[in-house]
Amino acid sequence: MAYDVIVIGSGPGGYVCAIKCAQLGLKTAIVEKRATLGGTCLNIGCIPSKAMLHASEMFHEAETSLEKLGVKVGKPKLDIKAMLAHKDATVKSNVDGVAFLMKKNKVDWLTGTGKVLGEGKVSVTGEDGKEQEIEAKNVVIATGSDVAGIPGVDVDFDEKVIVSSTGALELSKVPGHLVVVGGGVIGLELGSVWKRLGAEVTVVEYLDKVLGPMDGDVSKQFQRLLEKQGIKFNLGAKVTGVKKSGKGAEVTFEPVKGGDAETISADFVLVSTGRKPYTDSLGLEDAGVKLDDRGRVDINDHWQTSVSGIYALGDVVKGPMLAHKAEDEGMAVAEIIAGQHGHVNFDVIPSVVYTDPEVASVGKTEEELKAAGIEYTVGKFPFSANGRARAMLAPDGFIKILADKKTDRVLGVHMLGRGVGEMIHEAAVLMEFGGSSEDLARTCHAHPTMSEAVREAALAAAFGKPIHM
Q: CA 355, CA 150: separation in Å to the nearest integer? A: 24
Query: 371 and 432: one domain?
Result: yes
128 assigned to some structural domain: yes
Query: 328 and 374: one domain?
Result: no
Query: 135 and 208: one domain?
Result: no
Query: 191 and 286: one domain?
Result: no
Q: For 402, left (φ over 0), alpha (ψ -120 to 50), or beta?
A: beta
**Among the three residues 273, 300, 329, which one is the final residue of a domain in this structure?**
273
Is 372 a residue whose pLDDT tops 80?
A: yes
Query: 136 and 45: one domain?
Result: yes
**Among the three residues 245, 273, 301, which one is the final residue of a domain in this structure?**
273
Q: CA 96, CA 38: separation in Å to the nearest integer? A: 9
Q: List beta partners, residue 194.
A: none
Average model confidence (pLDDT) for the chain? 97
Is 57 a residue whose pLDDT tops 80?
A: yes
Give the CATH number for residue 27. 3.50.50.60
Q: CA 60, CA 83: separation in Å to the nearest integer? A: 13
Cα–Cα distance list, 343 to 16, 129, 303, 367 (Å): 15, 39, 10, 27
Exposure string (b/e) for 200-221, b if CB count within 10 Å is 16 or more? bbbbbbbbebbbeebbebbbeb
Q: CA 102, CA 37: separation in Å to the nearest integer? A: 10
152 assigned to some structural domain: no
28 assigned to some structural domain: yes
- The model's pLDDT over 19-42, given as tens digits with 9 standing for 90+, comes to 999 999 999 999 999 999 999 999
Query: 228 and 312: one domain?
Result: no
Give the CATH number for residue 453. 3.30.390.30
Residue 460: per-residue pLDDT = 98
Q: CA 354, CA 322: separation in Å to the nearest integer? A: 13
pTM as predicted: 0.96
Please say if 447 is a catalytic residue. yes
60 assigned to some structural domain: yes
Q: Average of pLDDT values for 93-121?
A: 97
Query: 263 and 288: one domain?
Result: no
Query: 180 and 128: one domain?
Result: no
Query: 413 and 295: one domain?
Result: no
Is 254 a residue whose pLDDT tops 90?
A: yes
Count helices and strands (H / E) in the chain.
14, 22
Cα–Cα distance list, 159 to 10, 244, 291 (Å): 24, 12, 30
Is 403 a residue whose pLDDT tops 80?
A: yes
By residue range, what is the domain housing residue 197? 162-273
Residue 26: per-residue pLDDT = 98
156 assigned to some structural domain: no
Query: 26 and 135: one domain?
Result: yes
Query: 141 and 281: one domain?
Result: yes
224 assigned to some structural domain: yes
**Among the three residues 273, 290, 318, which one is the final residue of a domain in this structure?**
273
- The model's pLDDT over 289-340, given as tens digits with 9 standing for 90+, comes to 999 999 999 999 999 999 999 999 999 999 999 999 999 999 999 999 999 9
Q: Average of pLDDT values for 176-196?
A: 98
154 assigned to some structural domain: no
469 assigned to some structural domain: no
- Cα-Cα-Cα-Cα dihedral of 97, 102, 106, 110, to 10°? -140
Is 1 a residue whose pLDDT tops 90?
A: no
Local confidence band at 351 (pLDDT 50, 70, 90 cut-offs)? very high
Cα–Cα distance list, 85 to 56, 103, 148, 328, 416 (Å): 13, 27, 28, 31, 30
CA angle 386, 228, 81 (to 5 degrees): 100
User: Parallel, antiparallel, or unpaired: how do β-strands 28-32 and 108-111 relate?
Assistant: parallel
Is 382 a residue whose pLDDT tops 80?
A: yes
- Helix (H) / strand (E) containing 337: helix 323-337
Is 282 a residue whose pLDDT tops 80?
A: yes
Q: Which of 302, 343, 425, 447 is catalytic?
A: 447
